[in-house]
Amino acid sequence: MAKQSEKRNLRGRAGRMKGGRGSGRTNKGAVRLWGRHAVEAALLNPVRQHRKLWATHEGIESLCGDLPPDFPLEYAGPEDLARLVARDAPHQGLVLECEPLEDLHLSEVLASDDNRPILLLDQVTDPHNVGAILRSAAAFDAAAIVTQDRHAPPEGGVLAKSASGALEKVPWVRVVNLSRALEEIAAAGYWRIGLTGEAEATLAEALPAGPVALVLGAEGEGMRANVESHCDALAKLPISEAMESLNVSNAAAIALYAIATRVEG
């Protein structure tokens, strides 16, 4: 177990956590998470409602905190845990079944009244990419990510493992129409920048002094025309001609770094 001074109570409770997040997922079935970072973050998130934790003794020892005495825990061997997760998934001795996170509306994010960036993902459906983007969003203190509910991966184990705990920390808003969401974001005072390799200006040239909403499209297809038309500016990352493009999660991380380190006059 972790040192006593480092321990926290690992407990999920109903209700909204101050500064917490919700996924907006419409399917209310159980979510199964695995891996130490994803499971520990979910256990520490007071918004989460937990059903059951399967774990090895080593997995429990790796957690930085204590489970409540009445927590639904079942010890199991690594082979048994492997049958509960996706094929060859690195469960690290921990598999947690819990309820999906509750809905979060865009208006709740926009009401926060700060200058943190918002990321909008247009048909980015790979859970590894979305998970990695959530991790970068947490690292660079983004206000939220926004996806269209029909063109985004579900909340689940692969995404949570890729997010390395960020699924519990970054607000994830799912909307019906991304273009309408961009209109609402503009009305809140954000400058909307679409990231595309076909743009003339670089991101550094396009960045304003105020709050930014960054739009990224799916790899290959890019942003849809209607989404692109709702951007105030288009920008590109100044990458070498030796490479045609970057993975969307890498592009998101670089763009967030550029926003975080911009010099405002």
Write out pLDDT tens, residues 66-102: 898 899 999 999 999 999 998 888 999 999 999 999 8
Top pLDDT among 257 and 22 is at 257
Own/partner pairs, 198-204, CB within 8 angstroms, 24+ separation? 198/222, 198/234, 198/236, 199/234, 199/235, 199/236, 200/234, 200/236, 201/233, 201/234, 201/235, 201/236, 202/235, 202/236, 202/237, 202/238, 203/235, 203/236, 203/237, 203/255, 203/258, 204/238, 204/258, 204/262
pLDDT on residue 17: 25
pLDDT on residue 10: 55
pLDDT on residue 114: 80
